[in-house]
Structure 1
């Protein structure tokens, strides 16, 4: 049997396998063929019923990112009036192995026929656990482009590629890029645009941040901060976001600080909420203290807090206390 008997012809989304003859009881598997990111196989097994299988070739890619396929599959008799059998459209079916899609055909087929697979879409699972996305969509192209750009930007920082300004923290220095900082922060942009000492000396002094916190700050700006690093330096990042007017970082810190309010940190969070104008955090801290009664669990700390707290915060807390008493 010639090699062509196993070859599948393809376009970008269409695969056709021409079979000249099947013995009365036989099995045949095609050569691998490429559609999307994966190599695929078609297989036929003929006994009393003809079974057709479509599956991706086993690989690291298949194991880590199995295709989620939508397709139409047909069997076309290639002689006579070209009668065809069409399987109902398959939509968003994950295919990992040769048992995930099997089509049993009871109608006897003899002579030459064609198995025709038209791929309507191929998706992979999102790395962040979100909805699967199409490898052929604009979104996938955008994700790939964004990922590559962020990796390059991160490399510029980590390997100090063509840095043109030095950031001096309280206990160390980092090389950075004016253009990146000016794009991310209007404060930095103003520094470099006007005849300030930062422009003349090619340095920026951030003496209120440690080198570790400063590194986390610039890792965020360059799109490469790790979650543990973010949590460790969350309050320092909030201060920096407010100081340098980086609104997205400020909001990320705001949302994160809402997630783990407890008796040990609630008063500090309340103070920061007032200082940096974080209304949701302020409301959540006051709710924790008053409505949930935690103010009694930290009575001594709360009394000390009242000695130095902003009058506006004190007024809001007692307003909530009075409102809570009215409910009884």
Structure 2
């Protein structure tokens, strides 16, 4: 290394992904990254050399009263010299985090030399909290959605829907029907309000047809509108149907919840689909996060074949925007 070149390193991150980029690396150095937040927890990466290079992922110490945290994640080291080349991969699944000073951290031993410029990438597949008293671990990424629901609806309305109390309109899904209430639907959706106020067929027939939604997805959609009793697993199962209905019937808070959820689990296997969803339903934050994931984090190189197919088939306006971002990023390198 040129003696005038100092080692530089910086962490970039999304909701589940952290990339620690190191330039002008000196193989004798011990480095520690700045803290980065995944979920509600702070983490650091440490790189040092013993017989081999060792990478440690270190969680911040927390009070002893904290619920146990269970992590699933994968790590990758990517050389940036002469193009991008993966030097090492590793992963852990459902391992409990030890916060104590003496506890064993997540440690990877590299059996390959490191180049002058490289990235250490950690992608969290899931983080779960488990009650010390037992019970099923719960993903930390489900908690924000649950809280949002509670803030948006009144729990007592749930019985109106589930027990069909004094219903005055019928929602016809593709494979079934559900009784509902104009007085609940109208305040939550300007589209429903317009249907029931003006002389439209929905007002005359006391029915709303949603032929592009299954009865299960329709139940989840109405459960969100009425109360806070939609399970997070049901939300994930029907998330795209819920987004489509939220957009169609102008339920803004549900649309926001879907966008936030789609941002949280962007990955190489879904980023191009998410990008098209963002464009289709006018989700600007999701679009920005997808482009950032592809360009800033270099994931476009991991899905080159799929990206080429995307360029050929996707909307021209969207493709042009993505390509412009790529060109701008490469000019800045």
Please state whether the residue corresponding to 2:154 is helix, strand or coil: helix
- Consecutive unaligned residues in structure 1, runs of 5 or more: 1-145
Report what 1:169 is aligned to: 173
Report what 2:238 is aligned to: 233
Report what 1:216 is aligned to: 220
User: Residue 280 in 1 paired to residue 285 in 2?
Assistant: yes
Select the structure with the greater relative contact order (CA < 8 A; seq sep ≥ 6): 2
Report what 2:44 is aligned to: none
Report what 1:23 is aligned to: none
Report what 2:311 is aligned to: 306
Superposition pairs for residues 91-106 of structure 1, below 5 Å?
none
Distance in 1 between the 2:208 and 2:269 partners?
35
Q: TM-score, normalised by structure 1?
A: 0.54
Distance in 2 between the 1:196 and 1:308 partners?
38
Distance in 1 between the 2:155 and 2:268 partners?
39
Superposition pairs for residues 11-50 of structure 1, below 5 Å?
none
Distance in 2 between the 1:252 and 1:151 partners?
18
Please state whether the residue corresponding to 1:173 is helix, strand or coil: strand
Report what 2:196 is aligned to: 192
Q: TM-score, normalised by structure 2?
A: 0.53
Q: 1:293, CA displacement in angstroms?
A: 1.4
Please state whether the residue corresponding to 2:234 is helix, strand or coil: helix
Report what 2:327 is aligned to: 322
Report what 1:201 is aligned to: 205
Distance in 2 between the 1:321 and 1:197 partners?
49
Report what 1:254 is aligned to: 259
Report what 2:86 is aligned to: none
**RMSD over equivalenced CA pairs, Å:** 1.5
Report what 2:160 is aligned to: 156
Question: Per-residue displacement from partner, 1:197-220 (whole Å, max 9, x unpaired)?
Answer: 111111100001111111110000
Report what 1:20 is aligned to: none
Q: 1:270, CA displacement in angstroms?
A: 0.3
Larger radius of gyration: 1
Please state whether the residue corresponding to 2:178 is helix, strand or coil: strand
Distance in 1 between the 2:285 and 2:301 partners?
22
Would you identify which runs of 4 or more consecutive aligned residues in structure 1 move more than 3 Å? Answer: none
- Consecutive unaligned residues in structure 2, runs of 5 or more: 1-149
Report what 2:274 is aligned to: 269
Question: Per-residue displacement from partner, 1:15-68 (whole Å, max 9, x unpaired)?
Answer: xxxxxxxxxxxxxxxxxxxxxxxxxxxxxxxxxxxxxxxxxxxxxxxxxxxxxx
Distance in 2 between the 1:258 and 1:215 partners?
24
User: Residue 181 in 1 paired to residue 185 in 2?
Assistant: yes
